Structure 1
Amino acid sequence: MLPIPKSPPLLFLLTLVLTLLQDIAITVLPEPQHVRAVYQSITANPQPPAHRVLIDCSTIDPSTSRHVAKMMADAGQGAFVDAPMSGGVVGATAATLTFMLGAPSALVPRVEPALLLMGRKVLHCGAQGAGLSAKLANNYLLALNNIATAEAMNLGMRWGLDPATLAGVINVSTGRCWPSEVNNPVKGVVNTAAASRNYRGGFGISLMKKDLGLAMVAAKEAGAKMALAETAFAVYDDAEKRPDCSGRDFSVVYRYLDGKEPQD
């Protein structure tokens, strides 16, 4: 996997490497504009390798991904597919990532082995762009569940419930979700959760806000009504501005909501 460029010279180097690769190239870039810039530069290559597959694992909006795919196809530079990933730093280190693949079915046998070198699962979601659509739909739900879990835990604790008891009830009932069971926002409920290490590590609040924003853009393009999107985005945006929340795991919204601290 090629590194994210941090400066113009490295951006040029990444473009040069991608231009010369003969079979499969994989990119992971921060924002849509970075993906456009890198692949636009590649189109200047006068002799592109035949049958090259370009796999982009960035989390960007599906429309930008489709635009880049068309640009590369029109320039004869290879097939561009999207494969955003889930699993974070821990998954990348352990090679247990899950990839959501958007690609023609005929390309799956070529793409899947390359991705399985870095992960455990490749979920083919449909045509090019479908991987990103699936990723953003999932992360939109995650963003809402995270806030709702923080509110529910705070509410129950202010009613006098023990946080571990409350989480135990939720996790065998209809409120069960990943933020309640795996990444509970209350310190001590889940020892491996970010809340138990002062919200350090994990999935940064800035990344959650970015993905939520991308989902909102894609929803507007699709004509999908999102009743809770703007409210949730405002929560993450405001929380990120607080010094005691900025740079922390996205479950830190519990702190932003003035969540009750458990008694030792």
Structure 2
Amino acid sequence: MRSNIRITSPLARLVSRAAQRRSFSATWGPQAQYGFIGLGQMGYNMARNLQSKLNSEDTLHIYDINTASAEKFVSETLRGSGASVKVATTVREAAENAETIISCLPEPSHVKAVFGQILAPPPMESSQVPSQDRLFIDCSTIDPASSKAVANHVHTLQQGKFVDAPMSGGVVGATAGTLTFMLGAPDALLSRVEPVLLKMGKKVLHCGAQGAGLSGKLANNYLLAINNIATAEAMNLGIKLGLDSKVLGNLINISTGRCWPSEVNNPVKDVVQGSPACRDYSGGFGISLMRKDLGLAIQAAGEAGARLELGGRAKDVYETAEQQEGCKGKDFSVVYRYLGGETPA
């Protein structure tokens, strides 16, 4: 059977070696066609879970600007079960050949650029997938205004339906398939969207119409950003006053100061086993991502007329900490180090 993997040259040797191990359908038939755009740390693991839980008759079209990610993805899927994989050479190809397209991209500018390519004239006219039947699920964390603008563009051109579904759970959740999705979509689309998201996560919270998922995500991450700094400050204060770090951590977590940064992601080494602080702040939710999300929340607050007293100062903390050599590229709980926090021996 002819391979259905569309590849660039770096993938050719890999696929030819594995050709005897798995065949790939080149026909549409009754199979479901999915697209996935963006194979970063989150997207890669989400796409792997999706692919593994789809039927073997289905096809997953993948695209990422980083060809190494696509190469790795093909290598891993050749060894397992699930949907066939087809590597698209452009984002438009990934979208044009699928009924359901998931995107997971870093910034609002990337989302706008990707959909600019997808929606550029001439309109997509694949005979197998009527344009109006396509479903775009954007899992990127961007500002609600940008998401609504992209959605309006998709709907105005009658190129499909666009919903927002940012997620919570980080790389660990994406890998384990335990993410929580915050969905912004009309009620009529729930029965179509939820089964797709539940192949990549455990919970789907329907927040309201398109854009509502992002509004909920940014409100939550604003609170997380503030709580993280407050936890780092409180731990630093107590330790400098002579308290044992574990005693202090336990005190907070059975008292009114308890929050996710204190209980799960405590910024002090060995207070919570397995936290990024125990690994020199490696892994976890990057400080650059928290800085980005906080900035998006502040932007959204300005557009909505919501007053944020602590947002600006918190943004300064993350921006300054991110530039320090000992904090750059680390989990966002590294603000404890930025504050001069002591690490227990």
Q: Same fold (TM over 0.5)?
A: yes
Pairwise mapping of residues 1-264 of structure 1 onto structure 2 (< 5 A)?
1-4=36-39, 5-6=64-65, 13-21=90-98, 23-43=99-119, 44=121, 45-47=123-125, 48-262=130-344, 264=345
Name the SS for the 1:225 alignment partner. Answer: coil
Q: Is the 8 A contact 1:11 1:38 kept in 2?
A: no
The structure with more radius of gyration: 2
Please list every run of at least 4 consecutive aligned residues from structure 1 whose deviation after the TM superposition is greater than 6 angstroms. none
Residues 220-243 of structure 1 show CA distances to partners (whole Å, capped at 9, x for unaligned) of 000011000110000000000101
Name the SS for the 1:122 alignment partner. Answer: strand
Q: Is the 8 A contact 2:131 2:158 kept in 1?
A: no
Q: Is the 8 A contact 1:52 1:79 kept in 2?
A: yes
| Residues in 1 aligned to 2:236 and 2:335: alpha-carbon distance in whole angstroms | 11
**What root-mean-square deviation, in Å, do the aligned CA atoms of Structure 1 and Structure 2 show?**
1.6
| Residues in 2 aligned to 1:2 and 1:16: alpha-carbon distance in whole angstroms | 10
One-letter identity of the residue aligned with 2:108:
P
Aligned length in residues = 261
Residues 131-157 of structure 1 show CA distances to partners (whole Å, capped at 9, x for unaligned) of 000000000000000000000000000
Name the SS for the 1:50 alignment partner. Answer: helix
Q: Is the 8 A contact 1:66 1:128 kept in 2?
A: yes
| Residues in 1 aligned to 2:89 and 2:118: alpha-carbon distance in whole angstroms | 10
Q: 1:248 to 1:12 in 2, by over 3 A?
A: same
For structure 1, the 5+ residue unaligned runs are: none
CA displacement at 1:89 relative to structure 2: 1.1
CA displacement at 1:15 relative to structure 2: 2.1
Q: Is the 8 A contact 2:124 2:131 kept in 1?
A: no
One-letter identity of the residue aligned with 1:25:
I
Name the SS for the 1:60 alignment partner. Answer: coil
| Residues in 1 aligned to 2:184 and 2:147: alpha-carbon distance in whole angstroms | 10
| Residues in 1 aligned to 2:302 and 2:288: alpha-carbon distance in whole angstroms | 21
| Residues in 1 aligned to 2:66 and 2:280: alpha-carbon distance in whole angstroms | 32
One-letter identity of the residue aligned with 2:234:
A
CA displacement at 1:258 relative to structure 2: 0.1
